[in-house]
Amino acid sequence: MVEKKSNKTVGVLALQGDFDKHLSHLYSVGVNGKLVRNKSELSAVDGLIIPGGESTAMTKLIKAFSLEEPLAEFVKTKPVMGTCAGLILLSNQIDTDRVIGFGAINIELKRNGFGRQLDSFSADISLEFTNGNPFHALFIRAPRILKSGEDVISLATYEGETVMARNSNVLVTTFHPELTDSLAVHKYFINQLLLSKEKLN
């Protein structure tokens, strides 16, 4: 853990999934992290990470905690990162009506597109912003991006398919960057989407 270099606070939706690992990565890149479970905690953060987990269970919990409308408003303009299930919730075209689609990024996807739990795998991928240095990505019941809009920028691919993308305020990955030692994805989120002038080393 390094000394904090920014007064910004990033929340991590802490209803399900590896939210503690995201929180650890946030502190490591130099920003305040805060677990978010209700509307007041959400209103106190400058950006948000929606972690991986099980998208239908996460949908039920979001509704149970009365977070559907507050999240829908937050993701319209605030910096947000969604990983795996978080990507599913942020997309606008999902292959089931049992999952909330906040429509924050113009992506059509298939849940578990790379297979079920037993089909989980890891692979070295190239991120557009790491000067060719490989990133070891873990794909666990990963969704598959089938199509994206013109305003969506692909930042990483695996076997020719986009696995990381962004628009103006939303960053999404089909893999789990919080389960690796690399801070590259979290640092990109902080530098490029959260901070305007200040950059983290």
Domain ranges of the chain: 9-194
Out of 54, 73, 150, 178, pick the active-site residue: 178
pLDDT digits over 174-198, tens only?
Answer: 999 999 999 999 999 999 999 965 5
Q: Which three-class secondary structure string do you get for the chain? A: CCCCCCCCEEEEECCCCCHHHHHHHHHHHCCEEEEECCHHHHHCCCEEEECCCCHHHHHHHHHHCCCHHHHHHHHHHCCEEEECHHHHHHEEECCCCCCCCCCCEEEEEECCCCCCHHHCEEEEEEECCCCCCEEEEEECCCCEEEEECCCCEEEEEECCEEEEEECCCEEEECCCHHHCCCCHHHHHHHHHHHCCCCCCC
178 counts as catalytic? yes
Out of 22, 176, 186, 198, pick the active-site residue: 176
22 counts as catalytic? no
pLDDT digits over 21-71, tens only?
Answer: 999 999 999 999 999 999 999 999 999 999 999 999 999 999 999 999 999
Other beta carbons within 10 Å of 24: 16
Q: Report the top-level CATH class of 9-194.
A: alpha beta
pTM of this structure = 0.92
**Cβ pair 104, 86 in contact under 8 A:** no
Out of 22, 25, 84, 186, pick the active-site residue: 84
Per-residue pLDDT at 4: 47
68 counts as catalytic? no
Q: How far apart are CA 37 and CA 34, in angstroms?
A: 10
Other beta carbons within 10 Å of 196: 6
Sign for the pseudo-dihedral over CA of 129, 30, 102, 13: positive
